[in-house]
Chains A and B, each alone.
Chain A
Amino acid sequence: MSQQSIELERWYARQRRDRTLGQAFLAEDAPVQSVPHDPRIEAIIEMYWPPRLLRGRVYMPDFDVIPDRPLRFFAYPFNFTLAARQTFQQTITIAHRFYWYGLTGVSLDNLVYRLRINDGRTRQQFQSSAIISPSMVGTGQRPFYMRRPHCIPSQRPINVQAENSAAATNHVQVVLLGAIYDG
């Protein structure tokens, strides 16, 4: 047998030994997939290949607070049009039980703003003072993930207060990322 055929036989033997197609995909000589080498993505792949629950992962610790129910990704956007140095508060009533785990935000005018978020019913504050946007929100490419998802009950109002730090009009959008029960 040629060296090539010997290597091929060994490769097939390893596939049979792996027993599952899923492991074959993760084998060293598995077909190259166009997945970026990012620890976050690898953590997500490890979670969902084979399928696992979203809890107790190194990437998102303390996510075991989310119960074993079918969940659906959901996002609540807050839109602001702020005049120079203006402060404005917007309230959204959460329609479903919402496990809030991340924040993204953007100023469409590329200006700085400050944020303050609190629970509209209990008046619970989520920070000691208004926080400048780069220190509080991420982007679609790098969302800010909270250390522990916060459960917001159904029909609970959430207040987001934005303060325009610039001397010009500032169009701001802040998005609360999370998951709701599906069904």
Chain B
Amino acid sequence: MNPNGEKTEHFYDYALPPTALLGNASNTVGLVIDADADFQCIWLIANSTGTFNVRFGDGGTGRYFMSGLIANVNLFGTALAPFPMLPPYVFKRQGSITIDLTDTSGAPNTIQLVFSGKKIFASPSSGAAGQILR
């Protein structure tokens, strides 16, 4: 906590490593949240070489954020125009984001998803290097 009792936060992106899918193939991957801080996801960004369907949820609670697979263009934006996830969701430290991917382009597809938001640290001592301390 800083002197006013507020949690320390800083901008952070959790990026799914580029995932290669064969045409019309499906895959389930997971993103592990670091142990040093909770993560509040605010924006959704994706980049791919083809179209795909996606569904993701909180691996810790098993709750998904959609009732079914959603086309990437309906749920993810770009860095210029990211999709705001409202209200932002806090993934607990050492939790995970479970992601189901299904290619719909019919051709090999390389997908990268970025969950953009901020890390929420409980105390300055667990913050990143270079942080201003009192």
On whether the beta carbons of B9 and A77 are closer than 8 Å, the reply is: no
Tell which of B10, B43, B70 touches A175, judged by Cβ atoms closer than 8 Å.
B70
Inter-chain contact total with CB atoms closer than 8 Å: 117
On whether the beta carbons of B4 and A19 are closer than 8 Å, the reply is: yes
Q: How long is the Cα–Cα vector from A44 to B43 in the complex, in angstroms?
A: 10
CB under 8 Å from chain B, chain A span 6-48: 15, 19-22, 24-25, 33-36, 38, 40-41, 44, 48
On whether the beta carbons of B73 and A139 are closer than 8 Å, the reply is: yes
A-B residue pairs in contact (CB < 8 Å), sample of 25: A20-B3, A22-B6, A41-B43, A41-B84, A48-B40, A50-B6, A54-B86, A72-B63, A72-B65, A73-B86, A74-B66, A74-B67, A75-B65, A75-B66, A77-B69, A104-B75, A108-B104, A140-B73, A141-B77, A141-B82, A143-B83, A173-B70, A175-B74, A179-B87, A182-B63
In the complex, what's the smallest C-beta–C-beta distance from B35 to chain A, in angstroms?
Answer: 22
Known A139-B74, A141-B83; 7 more pairs at CB < 8 Å: A21-B8, A36-B79, A60-B86, A95-B67, A104-B73, A141-B81, A175-B70
Q: How long is the Cα–Cα vector from A122 to B75 in the complex, in angstroms?
A: 29
Which residues of A are in contact with B by a Cβ distance under 8 Å? 15, 19-22, 24-25, 33-36, 38, 40-41, 44, 48-50, 54, 60, 71-77, 79, 92, 95, 101, 104-106, 108, 139-143, 173, 175, 179, 182
